Amino acid sequence: MNRNGRRLSALIALAVAGVVLALLPRVAGSYALVWISLLCVYLTLAASYDIVGGYMGYMNLGHSTFFGLGAYGTAILLNHGQPLAVAAAGGMVFTAGFAALVSYPLFRLRGAYFALATFGMISLMKVLSNNLRDLTGGSGGISTPPGDHTIGAYYLSVLIAFATLIVSYRVSRSRFGLALFSIREDEEVARAFGTPTNLYKSLALVISSIPASLIGGTYVWSVTYISPPAVFGLEIALSPIVMAMLGGTGTLLGPLLGAVFLTSCQELLWTKLPYLHLTIYGMIMVLVGLFLPGGLVRTAWFRPELDRLGLGEKISYPDLS
Amino acid sequence: MSVDIIQLLVGGILLGGIYGLAAFGLSISFGVLNILNLAHGEFLMLGSLVSYSAFVLLGINPFVSAVLVIPLFVVFGVGFYLLLLKPVSDKPPHQLLVASILVTLGISLAIEDLTAFFWERPVTGIAYSLPAIELGHVVISSLRLSILLFICVLAVLLQAYLKRTFVGRAIRAITQSREGAKIVGVPIAHISGFTFGLGVALAASAGVFYVTLFTVTPVIGIPLTVKYLCVVVLGGLGSLVGSVVGGLILGLSEVLTAYYFGAEWSPCIAFVLLISILIIRPSGLFGIEG
């Protein structure tokens, strides 16, 4: 199949998926809609994590900070009587500004130091959201105006997840994305060849923070209540990263595959097993780290298929000038 | 007022000594293995639980168990290294980072969750005390003083071990230059396993003191690892003196923050310190490579 034929079939597949997802609320019950919304939350977080964690190779373990900040920002603005669009935009601007601010000190670290420092950022946010009671409601959490937003949240989540995948694809096929790959492979060489590494690293962090904050805003609008452990807890922090790792970082389909696989597992297992969720996540992380550091997409079953679809790592750059 | 300050300083120095001891364990194992062990805080927690159980069930004095846990956790750490870290350390460098973070963080989550599941009473503290010493108006518990003395003795022994013995010199050599050490014939794999065991044992030993002074819950591990990172960045890699100084700075600032701003703010200070060092002196107070 030639290049245009592949592109056409990919577009047809996307259109079919779009129509099915758009018509789903007419036939499916609210259980399925809530499940797909949750899947889209995880997918958005995993795919936006991958821009920094996969493309650039900086393990940002604190990615859920952006989710939580977006959720808190949106909730506070909603409680001040703002409409959802204004509230979510406000949360997004706040989160992106925060990401731009912390990127300066954090990117002075590398490797494991960076991973641990970003991980520490989550606990800082948890302490702040517990202590600033006037603003965040403290450990009691914060409620937003009630209402049944299941269908609205479903469409918004699907839209944001889809937009995140598009952004991720566009980034990976751009000059900017190429710079991020080169930072991952060798930062000194990239800088020596004239890549503005500091600027691009901050920019990548800001870009990855935007989808996370938007999906956080959608999430709080639909569940109408959040508390510090719900948005700054370990499970929401680590499950998107585990999904991206399990699927395969640095590829478009890795986070998608990991998110679908792990969210389905959660749905089947978690209801039967009320404890030890973190143990299972931990064991998956250990097994992936020991035996599957490239993720599922780099195994022998998936790799040829992805390369055939033009979504693998063999990227042909059509026009970068 | 000044009495309060002195009490605070003593408390801060003590906390700092415990941090320094445990952070030095993290620092040498990172220096030798090139793997940042994110499960390090969990070993402090496990050391605390072991000594608590030994105290409650067998009536073993915490000072005795602080010595006893060292060989126990050296063996445990070597086993951990052989089973989980040795296979990872053979990977090429770009996979090493991701794989090591996944493995150590995964183990840390599993330990935390399993401990919380099996430990019925999560909050524990040893009811062990010695008569207090009164100097003028300053009351210093002699338990705290003896712990401080014990940590000092341990640090001196450790420093002597690193400077005088073959293994200690090998550890420092690998930290300074891995390739150079390999060329002159240092058995890197053996030393790596033992160093990791030693690091784990230091954390566990610090955990014994931790439980005599503070309450221990299964979830303290990961926040503690972040604090050790702060100490390592403050004090520099592989230097015992640096770790102790970094630990003292962190311990004192935590205690002073809790006194002046309220106890709920003291968990923030490690992160604030870390960020401020990175902005002011990116190479760390004692000059390490970021």
Residue-wise pLDDT tens digits, A66-91: 999 999 999 999 999 889 999 999 99
Cβ distance B30 to B237 under 8 Å? yes
Cβ distance A226 to A67 under 8 Å? no
Report how far residue A78's alpha carbon sits from residue A87's, in angstroms, rounded to the nearest whole number.
6
Cβ distance A78 to A145 under 8 Å? yes
More confident of the two residues B283 and A42: A42
**What average pLDDT does this structure show over A267-273?**
77
Min distance A118 CA to chain B CA atoms (Å): 10
Contacts of A319 (CB under 8 A, 6+ apart): none
Cβ distance A161 to A47 under 8 Å? yes
Q: How many residues does chain A have?
A: 321
Is A320 a residue whose pLDDT tops 50? no
Report the residue from A112, A281, A290 with minimal CB separation from B88.
Answer: A290
Report how far residue B267's alpha carbon sits from residue A102's, in angstroms, rounded to the nearest whole number.
19
**Average pLDDT in chain A:** 86
| Chain B residue with minimum CA distance to A280 | B110
Report how far residue A63's alpha carbon sits from residue A61's, in angstroms, rounded to the nearest whole number.
6
The counts of H helices and E strands in chain B are 12, 2
Testing the interface with A: which of B30, B85, B100, B102 to mutate, by most A Cβ within 10 A?
A: B102
Flag if A290 and B103 touch (Cβ within 8 Å).
Answer: yes
DSSP label of B82: I
pLDDT bracket for residue A158 (50, 70, 90): very high
Testing the interface with B: which of A278, A284, A313 to mutate, by most B Cβ within 10 A?
A: A278
Maximum Cα interatomic distance, chain B, rounded to a whole number of Å: 62
Bridge partners (DSSP) of residue A289 are: none
Flag if A116 and B102 touch (Cβ within 8 Å).
Answer: no
Maximum Cα interatomic distance, chain A, rounded to a whole number of Å: 61
Report how far residue A247's alpha carbon sits from residue A8's, in angstroms, rounded to the nearest whole number.
25
pLDDT bracket for residue A262 (50, 70, 90): confident
B109 — contact with chain A (CB < 8 Å)? Answer: yes
Report the residue from B87, B223, B226 with minimal CB separation from A290.
Answer: B87
Cβ distance B198 to B162 under 8 Å? no
Cβ distance A117 to B222 under 8 Å? no
Testing the interface with B: which of A133, A286, A313 to mutate, by most B Cβ within 10 A?
A: A286
pLDDT confidence of residue B174: 87
Local mean pLDDT, 10-residue blocks, chain B (290 residues): 78 87 87 85 88 82 83 92 86 79 88 83 61 67 80 88 89 86 87 91 88 80 84 79 88 88 82 80 54
Report how far residue B6's alpha carbon sits from residue A259's, in angstroms, rounded to the nearest whole number.
54
Q: Which of A205, A209, A234, A203 is closest to A91 using CA atoms? A: A209
pLDDT bracket for residue A111 (50, 70, 90): confident
Is A95 a residue whose pLDDT tops 90? yes
B94 — contact with chain A (CB < 8 Å)? Answer: yes
Angle, CA A135 vertex, CA A132 and CA A137 arms, to 5°: 80
Report the residue from B30, B88, B114 with minimal CB separation from A279.
Answer: B114
A109 — contact with chain B (CB < 8 Å)? Answer: yes
Terminus-to-terminus CA distance in chain B, angstroms?
Answer: 40
Report how far residue A137's alpha carbon sits from residue B224's, in angstroms, rounded to the nearest whole number.
26
Cβ distance A63 to A241 under 8 Å? yes
Percentage of residues of chain A with pLDDT beyond 70: 93
Residue with tokens 């400077």: B163
Testing the interface with A: which of B91, B105, B266, B271 to mutate, by most A Cβ within 10 A?
A: B105
pLDDT confidence of residue B138: 67
> How many interchain CB pairs under 8 A, A with B?
136
A175 — contact with chain B (CB < 8 Å)? Answer: no
Chain A window 208-247: which residues touch B at a Cβ cutoff of 8 Å?
Answer: 234, 238, 245
Report how far residue B196's alpha carbon sits from residue B74's, in angstroms, rounded to the nearest whole number.
8
- Which residues on chain A are in Cβ contact (under 8 Å) with B233? 113
Is A229 a residue whose pLDDT tops 90? no
pLDDT confidence of residue A309: 65
Bridge partners (DSSP) of residue B141 are: B132
Report how far residue A94's alpha carbon sits from residue A97's, in angstroms, rounded to the nearest whole number.
5
Residue-wise pLDDT tens digits, A114-142: 888 888 888 889 888 988 888 888 888 88
Cβ distance A103 to A88 under 8 Å? no
Contacts of B146 (CB under 8 A, 6+ apart): B63, B130
B243 — contact with chain A (CB < 8 Å)? Answer: no
pLDDT bracket for residue A101 (50, 70, 90): very high
pLDDT bracket for residue A186 (50, 70, 90): confident
Is A43 a residue whose pLDDT tops 90? yes
Report how far residue A174's alpha carbon sits from residue A177's, in angstroms, rounded to the nearest whole number.
5
Cα B266 from chain centroid (whole Å): 18
